[in-house]
Chain A
Amino acid sequence: MRTINVSEVTEKISEACIEANHFLSADMKEKLEQATRQEEAPLGRQILEQLQENLRIAGEDMIPICQDTGMAVIFMEIGQDVHFEGGSLTDAINEGVRRGYVDGFLRKSVVKDPILRENTKDNTPAVIHYDVVPGDKVKITVAPKGFGSENMSRVFMLKPADGIEGVKNAILTAVKDAGPNACPPMVVGVGIGGTFEKCAILAKKALTRPVDQHSEITWVRELEEEMLEKINRTGIGPGGLGGSTTAMAVNVNTYPTHIAGLPVAINICCHVNRHAVREI
């Protein structure tokens, strides 16, 4: 049994909120550079160059990469041999988000009630996904999610008979409907299988996988490659203003499902695909 004070969680989350909103991971930066070299459209290239310039300014001047600093989505992978002391873990996580967003000059974009819509003024609460894993460590992934692209995400409850072609159509439909709204070039997270809510979480988690890593399952890797190529043939392009770079990666996660179903979720992320990781 390992004891961890929740104040340590608060501190790590606060740091990670600020880091994720100012610096993209190395794999995202590399993909963006590669896209800039390969883009066919002159205006598309110009936009991709601006996105690189934007990243440079964000890091040097500590201005968030995007003004939509997102709703804080937090994946907690908690070793089953860990014991937390010092108060409620959920409260500690939200305190970390509060400090990160207030101290880090990040935008407060959360409303307390979806209909009454009063801003909570500190970007809490976070959306927290808890997972219990073997061991005595805690892995925290902070993934602030902007809503330009979140709004264009979809869940399809397909039939088993729809098969892989149905899945491909669902992905292309979501991407085409998103078009310029989702700030392309996008990263497309896909969850296949499980239940209604499980496939959505799989899709969300797929966005945190490095964009230069494919699935280890052969058919899934082939689907990722094929869909990336198909999406980049749509012509949507950077900013939706035409070109050959509409997506930088398609990351697919799968899970067993029911004999009667084929749930598919497509969680679209803009080019500001943010996540920062901390381990305790």
Chain B
Amino acid sequence: MDRYVKVPLSDEDAKSLKAGDYVYLTGTIYTARDAAHKRMQEALDRGEELPLEMKNNVIYYMGPSPAREGRPIGSAGPTTASRMDKYAPALLDLGLKGMIGKGKRSQAVKDAIVRNGATYFAAVGGAGALLSKSILSSEVIAYDDLGTEAIRKLEVKDFPVIVVIDAEGNNLYETATAAYCKE
């Protein structure tokens, strides 16, 4: 079913989303991928504050191409989420409510999603030009030296995603593939 949801994501909205829902997100989300996650983990290990509040926020696993003049961002599609599996459970336990990426997640991440009533969304991989049209603004807020891997604050309007793993642990990749399997 189609849903229009505000981000940051409220506890109620996160719990009500079901695997297979087609969701349009509007509000503020943050980007972080491999190198930024590594730095955040190192900050946590040292007992330091993270550059962004996790509570009810949504992280988009994405490193954009450079913006041409007059545009908020370049191509901006999702990267493979499993590379962040090592870091995601700790962030979910700090209140992270949603992740946007593509591809499978580990059991530890699934458990952390259920434990914290969070959601894993997929955006369409390889549709970075199209997805960039739902991003109104982009601002680097941390780790500027990482280039495309810096943490960015994005304002999005009707950003299209699909719920893959919901707060109950249902996994669309498993059910949808089985439905069309003819082996």
A residues with CB within 8 A of B: 40-41, 43-44, 47, 50-51, 53-55, 57-58, 61-69, 105-109, 117, 119, 121, 146, 148, 151, 179-183, 233-237, 239-244, 270-272
Contact = CB atoms under 8 A, between A and B. Distances in A.
Contacts of A236: 177
Contacts of A117: 35
B74 A272 contact: no
B79 A109 contact: no
Interface in B63-108: 63-68, 71, 74-77, 79-80, 82, 102-104
12 contacts: A58-B129, A66-B125, A66-B128, A67-B62, A67-B74, A68-B63, A107-B66, A240-B102, A240-B176, A241-B122, A241-B176, A242-B177
| Interface of chain A, main secondary structure | loop
B124 interface: yes
B130 A107 contact: no
Interface in B42-63: 62-63
A68 B180 contact: no
B172 interface: yes
Contacts of A181: 80, 82, 102-104
Given A105-B67, A241-B176, 10 more contacts: A63-B132, A66-B75, A107-B75, A117-B35, A121-B147, A180-B102, A180-B103, A235-B178, A239-B102, A271-B126
Given A119-B147, A242-B176, A183 B125 contact: yes
Nearest to A58: B129
Given A62-B68, A66-B77, A235-B182, A50 B124 contact: yes
A135 B181 CA distance: 50
A107 B180 contact: no
Interface of B: 22, 35, 62-68, 71, 74-77, 79-80, 82, 102-104, 122, 124-130, 132-133, 146-149, 160, 162, 164, 172-173, 175-183
A38 to B, nearest CB: 13
Contact of B74 (A105, A233, A234): A105
A180 B101 CA distance: 11
A99 B150 CA distance: 23
A180 B179 CA distance: 15
B63 A67 contact: yes
Contacts of B182: 233, 235
A199 to B, nearest CB: 24
Contacts of B128: 54, 63-68
A58 B75 CA distance: 9
Contacts of B75: 58, 63-67, 69, 107
